């Protein structure tokens, strides 16, 4: 394993800060009439990636208590974004999945974020800078693969 330099540490800090700031900025660009909490949004995103998760699996992914998760799931059911159903192979388990309304909400918010980002990129950057950003994002994405 290569030795970590001071420059590596500084770059790691800059990337972490950039990801945090971009995440906050993108969250502001979404209409959120239901005022979804971060936890509620995280559950919906987790279900978009892996449909049919148990409440326990969601608790583990989010590192929250079962009581807290129950509150989050109740609210999302009341908004008709998720549904609960019994597991056919194990009747003791409850599976959580997105409804059509939940999927539509995710698609709408993704579109809003991407539209804002595309407009901002078009306004702020030259073609040369856009090419540089594209190359940098490909390099940074490799971090998520490790």
**Entry pTM:** 0.74
Look at residue 96 and tell me if it is in a domain.
Answer: yes
Confidence label for 32 from pLDDT (cuts 50, 70 and 90): confident
What gap in Å lies between CA 62 and CA 56, rounded to an integer? 10
Q: What is the pLDDT of residues 96-141, one digit of tens each?
A: 999 999 999 889 888 999 999 999 999 999 999 999 999 999 999 9
86 contact partners, CB below 8 Å, separation of at least 6: 93, 94, 95
Residue 122: CATH number of its domain: 1.10.10.10
Look at residue 1 and tell me if it is in a domain.
Answer: no
Task: Domain count for the chain, please give it.
Answer: 1
Q: In this predicted model, which residue has the larger pLDDT, 24 or 121?
A: 121
- The residue range of the domain holding 38 is 6-145
């Amino acid at each position: 394993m290569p030795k970590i330099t001071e420059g590596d540490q500084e770059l790691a800090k800059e990337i972490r800060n950039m990801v945090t700031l971009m995440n906050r900025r993108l969250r502001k660009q979404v209409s959120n009439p239901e005022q979804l909490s971060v936890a509620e949004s995280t559950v919906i995103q987790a279900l978009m990636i892996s449909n049919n998760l148990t409440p326990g699996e969601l608790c583990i992914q989010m590192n929250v208590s079962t009581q807290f998760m129950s509150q989050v799931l109740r609210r999302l059911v009341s908004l008709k974004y998720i549904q609960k159903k019994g597991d056919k192979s194990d009747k003791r388990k409850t599976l959580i999945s997105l409804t059509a309304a939940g999927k539509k909400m995710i698609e709408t918010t993704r579109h809003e974020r991407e539209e804002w980002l595309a407009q901002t990129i078009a306004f702020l950057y030259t073609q040369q800078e856009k090419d540089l950003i594209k190359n940098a994002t490909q390099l940074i994405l490799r971090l998520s693969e490790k």
